[in-house]
Amino acid sequence: MTAQFGSADLDRLRKLAHRAPRAARAALLRSTALREALGAILAAIVEEATPPAVDLATLDQARRAAGRAAALRAFAGEVRVAWSVERSGLDLITHVVADAAVRLLESLPSHRLRRCDGRDCGWLFLDTSKNGRRRWCDMATCGNSAKARRHLAKLSARSRRPRPRP
Ligand SMILES: [Zn+2]
């Protein structure tokens, strides 16, 4: 997927938000609601539960709004659905995310969706490893800290063991 908007669009959104702060707050609330709904839907999928109807309704509403704002645009050598500041206004990012989320959910290999085992993490990730046994969102952060904790626990258990008397 190519970027749906660039820095010029973001500058225009900033100016729009500055001129209409109440509309910007309302757009932010719609965006936050979509994020929360996506989190709940994916959390349900990872736990093999049915996603809550209220969250599906939020995503569906965002999807429909995105669909109304979408337009076919010609790019060099191709035509595709795209969003613009002119049509989406302050909801530009929300529209692009809603569309991407629906496409993700439709093609999601749900048996590969995992919740990170890292302490205080809980991030969801797609396990694309060959053996399908990845446990952490990122080995460099959660994976290494889990290994370090296990190592320290092992050392600590060893030091508590009674030492043989001479
Ligand atoms: Zn993690």
122 conformational bin, left if phi > 0, alpha if psi -120 to 50, beta if neither: left
User: What are the average pLDDT values for consecutive 10-residue runs of the chain, which has 166 residues?
Assistant: 78 97 98 97 96 98 97 92 95 97 95 92 92 90 79 77 65
Cα 9 to averaged position of ligand 1 atoms, centre (Å)? 32
Rounded to the nearest angstrom, the distance between the alpha carbon of 109 and the centre of ligand 1 is 20
Distance between CA atoms of 1 and 3, rounded to whole angstroms?
A: 7
Q: Alpha helix locations (H) across 6-108?
A: 7-19, 21-46, 53-69, 85-88, 92-107
CB-based neighbours (< 5 A) of ligand 1, an ion: 116, 118, 121, 123, 137, 142
**Do you know the residue count of the chain?**
166
User: How far is the centre of ligand 1, averaged over its atoms, from the C-alpha of 19 (Å)?
Assistant: 39
- Residue 43 CA to ligand 1 centre (angstroms): 15
**DSSP-based three-state secondary structure for 82:** strand
Q: What does the pLDDT read at residue 5?
A: 80
Distance, in Å, from the CA atom of 50 to the CA atom of 56, rounded to the nearest integer, reads 10
Q: How many angstroms does the Cα of residue 105 sit away from the middle of ligand 1? A: 21
Ligand 1 centroid from CA 35, angstroms: 19
Cα 133 to ligand 1 centroid, rounded to whole Å: 14
Predicted local distance difference test score (pLDDT) of residue 166: 60
One domain for residues 35 and 98? yes
CA distance 111 to 114: 8
Residue 1 domain-assigned (yes or no): no
Which residue range forms the structural domain that includes residue 30? 7-108
Of 108, 126, 148, which one is at a domain's C-terminal end?
108
Distance 113 CA to ligand 1 centre (A): 13
30 belongs to a structural domain = yes
Q: In whole angstroms, what is the distance from residue 92 CA to residue 69 CA?
A: 9
Q: Are residues 15 and 67 in the same domain?
A: yes
Dig out the tokens for 90 from the structure. Answer: 């302050």
Q: How far is the CA of 119 from the centre of ligand 1 (A)?
A: 7
Strand pairing of 71-75 and 113-115? Answer: unpaired
Q: In angstroms, how far is CA 36 from the centroid of its own chain? A: 10
Q: Distance between CA atoms of 139 and 68, rounded to whole angstroms?
A: 41
Assess whether 115 and 127 both reside in one domain.
yes
Number of structural domains (the chain) is 2
